[in-house]
Amino acid sequence: MADFDPDESGCEHLRVQAHAKVNLYLDIIGSRSDGYHEIETIFHSIGLHDDIYLRKRIDRQITVHCEHPHVPCDPRNLAYRAAKLLLDNTPDLSGVEIQILKRIPVAAGLGGGSADAAAVLYGMNALFDLNLTQRDLMQLGVQLGADVPFCILGGAALGRGIGEILTPLPPLEEAWILLVNPGFEIPTAWVYQQINLSLTVPKKNVTILARCLQNGEFVNVARHLYNGLEVPVLSKYPAVAEIKTKLGNRPGSCGVLMSGSGATVFALMQSQAEANLAAANFENDFAFCRATPMSRVGLRIS
């Protein structure tokens, strides 16, 4: 971060907090010819976030800096692709320098790349006074990835289609979760390949969980957590199953689920104190372990 001072030059730069998400519910209901899957999901933003620093450039170049070894600093980066999309759509826009302070574990089911892309769209809209609406940004975002529209919307939402048809829900108030990641990546494509859509397995109903959120019933939300991708992951990766068991047995844990295609597992915790205590207890056992509050927002300019 040494060559980037966000306090240096007035409105020529800004910082956006890009929040991670968890899926409180995820069911795969069909496949599509474009490789995406039809899903029913309930997204929720969480406090854990990356910081995205944006600075105007005088040319039309896009540069990306990130010190995380698994995050590419080139056109493969979703944040780069978000900036490119805006530049391609806005002829007189100058370029942008993007610095990513990565806190969200990478390829972990927490939507880190999508959050960064959302932050670039949102931040550049403010930095360059583009006057795009949230809806405009979400329509651009879906071209980058299925989770990007939710990362722009933030809070809690029911997602249908590929996750881009969103109905906002009231976020959980003052709830804390514990996140644990074993430190290895699970290939998302492999996980989806394991889903046999013709197999009729008993599923939970997304509308029940949505209603629990609408009524602010924390314990019932925790009781109805569901992820249809868990079965293949837990049977192939015993380390993830072990995390699930450990989090489930932890005092104060009300419900445990793998997020997205894994490998992060989260527990909805009864209190901040129990979440922090559990995080301290597991700190040395896992590659990543963090207590964090649920968040009402996906993005924040700070």
Where on the chain is the footprint of ligand ATP (CB under 6 A)? 70-72, 76-79, 100, 106-114, 116, 147, 188, 260-261
Cα–Cα distances in angstroms (integers) from residue 162 to residues 29, 32, 51, 108, 300, in the given order: 10, 9, 27, 19, 25
Q: What is the 3-state secondary structure (H, E, C) of 112-132?
A: HHHHHHHHHHHHHHHHCCCCC
Task: Give Cβ neighbours of residue 225 (< 8 Å, ≥ 6 apart).
Answer: 24, 25, 209, 255, 256, 257, 268
* From 21, 102, 244, 246, the catalytic residue: 21
**What residues are paired with 227 via a beta bridge?**
26
Q: Closest approach of Cβ 84 to ligand ATP, in Å?
A: 13
Q: State both tokens at 149.
A: 């529209």
Chain mean position to CA 293: 14
Closer to ligand ATP by Cβ: residue 111 or 274: 111
Nearer to ligand ATP, 45 or 77 (CB): 77
**50, 102, 147, 246: which one is catalytic?**
147
- Which token pair is 114? 């999508």
The minimum distance between CB 168 and ligand ATP, in angstroms, equals 19
Catalytic status, residue 147: yes
Q: Which CB, 147 or 274, lies closer to ligand ATP?
A: 147
Locus of tokens 């602010």: 216
Question: Shortest gap between Cβ of 103 and ligand ATP (angstroms)?
Answer: 11
Task: Give the separation between CA 140 and CA 134, rounded to whole angstroms.
Answer: 10
Helices (H), the chain: 78-89, 112-127, 134-141, 148-153, 188-193, 206-214, 218-223, 230-236, 238-249, 272-282
Q: Is 7 a catalytic residue?
A: no
Nearest approach, Cβ of 260 to ligand ATP (angstroms)? 4
Residue closer to ligand ATP, measured from CB, 166 or 274: 166
Nearer to ligand ATP, 1 or 219 (CB): 1
Min dist. Cβ of residue 246 to ligand ATP (A): 22
CA gyration radius, the chain: 19
Which residues are known catalytic residues? Answer: 21, 147
